[in-house]
Chains A and B, each alone.
Chain A
């Protein structure tokens, strides 16, 4: 088995969640598909190893669901010094609703050191097609990131017109990122308890996006975006006011509507975006 260690062969998929046709995928609930995770290694920047996790809709046996083709693919960029696996609650949920997500690793868990890892992972997935027809070059593309990850995601979004949707989670574009130069739907969400980025600061900075939907969540802080709310030790983050699973379900409801509207072309979801969401101002 030493050669597997030496050359980093791709391991088997991990089943995270079994399918359940009773689940509707509405109002923040998981969708009917199962969720699987596969770790993929790619050659990047000639010499480097780019590792990324792929979360995909799975069938009963944990394989990519055979009834889905060319599903939307979203790349998620981790926040600074937060392990990428801490965000698994997001792509696992998205997988149950029929979306594929790639989550690349970054040196020292700092996306700014390798800002192109997300588009490189997207390119590799669509080129290699490890899931057959599940993801193809016809798949709509999205991008999202938390905190520093959102800063990096905005850079990639601004320079890549093929990316149809952007999620900025408690984040804003850096001053030099030319986000005004392109159109495209952007969802910006922040908590009213965020001690690192106040809603007013984020609103001011994200108004540079041409097509922004903005929401302020009651009770949410900065590191509540991680799976267990950890990661803010030693920072001046505000308190989490509320039950984290409930706050996450509220985020799912808002984000799901935006993804459905802009990556699937769902007109009902687009109409829901015009209405207030529970837990958000």
Chain B
């Protein structure tokens, strides 16, 4: 069972952009993901599987606007996607911003994420604009979280469709939620 889970729990930009901890995974309705962060000079890295039909390897980063718990956070990823049902390739690029409270033991945030994909298949472009809600709670060394991303997807040749992606998130290790990337873990929090 664990083997099956690991085989399908490859990663998506979601885990890369909103996961907590050095290693995190998201298991959603369509996407399964794993992300690894704090790799020194390397960017954060992630892998995602979408609907057993697309496998993406991505690099990404996050940029908090401040060290304060109440803040906004920009995120971005770029990746290469292998299309699996009708073999092909695609390039993905995700931009997002979320704002909320990024505390030591919990995170509550809402934002907008645009995971653009340009492909070589019959549909050359996929352009979603998604509302992204997230909450995470620290339990010992683990971060447990809930995600919901929903919004319209525009695909030339296929018109508009709706995306609804609820997901569970698990993270472990490393950074604390209230600590911006590349800042020391002991950095003081200026407000609560």
A residues adjacent to B (C-beta < 8 A): 2, 5-8, 41-49, 107-108, 112-116, 120, 123, 127
B131 nearest CB across to chain A (Å): 15
- Complex Cα gap A41–B86 (Å): 9
Evaluate contact between A41 and B50: CB separation under 8 angstroms. Answer: no
List CB contacts (< 8 Å) of B1-24 with chain A: 4, 7-8
Which of B30, B50, B52, B119 touches A7 (beta carbons < 8 Å)? B52
Chain A residues positioned under 8 Å from B4 (CB to CB): 2
Known A42-B86, A43-B85: A114·B161 in contact at CB below 8 Å: yes
Encode B74-94 as 1/0 by CB contact (under 8 A) with A: 000000010111101010000
Evaluate contact between B85 and A41: CB separation under 8 angstroms. Answer: yes
Evaluate contact between A46 and B123: CB separation under 8 angstroms. Answer: yes
B100 nearest CB across to chain A (Å): 28
Evaluate contact between A6 and B52: CB separation under 8 angstroms. Answer: yes
Chain B residues positioned under 8 Å from A115 (CB to CB): 159-161
Chain B residues positioned under 8 Å from A47 (CB to CB): 50-51, 53-54, 81, 83, 90, 117, 119, 126
- Complex Cα gap A5–B122 (Å): 24
B18 nearest CB across to chain A (Å): 19
User: Interface size (B, Cβ < 8 Å)?
Assistant: 33
Known A2-B7, A7-B84: A44·B52 in contact at CB below 8 Å: no
- Complex Cα gap A8–B30 (Å): 14
Evaluate contact between A8 and B162: CB separation under 8 angstroms. Answer: no
Which of B7, B51, B90, B119 touches A49 (beta carbons < 8 Å)? B51
Chain A residues positioned under 8 Å from B153 (CB to CB): 45
Chain A residues positioned under 8 Å from B86 (CB to CB): 42-43
Evaluate contact between A44 and B158: CB separation under 8 angstroms. Answer: yes
- Asked if B187 is at the interface of the complex by the 8 Å CB criterion, the answer is no
Chain B residues positioned under 8 Å from A112 (CB to CB): 162
- Asked if B155 is at the interface of the complex by the 8 Å CB criterion, the answer is yes
The CB with the most chain B CB atoms within 10 A, among A45, A107, A116, is that of: A45
Given contacts A43-B85, A47-B81, A123-B122, 20 further A-B contacts (CB under 8 A): A6-B8, A8-B52, A8-B53, A42-B86, A43-B86, A44-B123, A44-B158, A45-B153, A46-B90, A46-B118, A46-B155, A47-B83, A47-B119, A48-B30, A48-B51, A49-B51, A115-B159, A115-B161, A116-B158, A120-B158
Evaluate contact between B84 and A46: CB separation under 8 angstroms. Answer: no
Chain A residues positioned under 8 Å from B118 (CB to CB): 46
Which of chain A's residues has its CB closest to B125's CB? A46
Evaluate contact between A46 and B83: CB separation under 8 angstroms. Answer: yes
- Complex Cα gap A275–B4 (Å): 60
Which of chain B's residues has its CB closest to A40's CB? B85
- Complex Cα gap A115–B121 (Å): 20
Chain B residues positioned under 8 Å from A45 (CB to CB): 123, 126, 153, 155, 158, 161
Evaluate contact between B155 and A42: CB separation under 8 angstroms. Answer: no
- Asked if B164 is at the interface of the complex by the 8 Å CB criterion, the answer is yes
Chain A residues positioned under 8 Å from B125 (CB to CB): 46
B119 nearest CB across to chain A (Å): 4
- Complex Cα gap A42–B85 (Å): 6
Which of chain B's residues has its CB closest to A3's CB? B7
- Complex Cα gap A123–B51 (Å): 21
Chain A residues positioned under 8 Å from B30 (CB to CB): 48
List CB contacts (< 8 Å) of B151-168 with chain A: 153, 155, 158-162, 164
Which of chain B's residues has its CB closest to A159's CB? B159
- Complex Cα gap A107–B30 (Å): 11
Which of chain A's residues has its CB closest to B56's CB? A47
Chain A residues positioned under 8 Å from B51 (CB to CB): 47-49
Chain B residues positioned under 8 Å from A7 (CB to CB): 52, 84-85
- Complex Cα gap A114–B53 (Å): 17
Known A43-B83, A107-B164: A49·B117 in contact at CB below 8 Å: no
Evaluate contact between B121 and A43: CB separation under 8 angstroms. Answer: yes
The CB with the most chain B CB atoms within 10 A, among A5, A46, A114, is that of: A46
Evaluate contact between B126 and A46: CB separation under 8 angstroms. Answer: yes
Chain B residues positioned under 8 Å from A123 (CB to CB): 122
Chain A residues positioned under 8 Å from B84 (CB to CB): 7, 43
- Complex Cα gap A206–B160 (Å): 25
Which of chain B's residues has its CB closest to A110's CB? B162
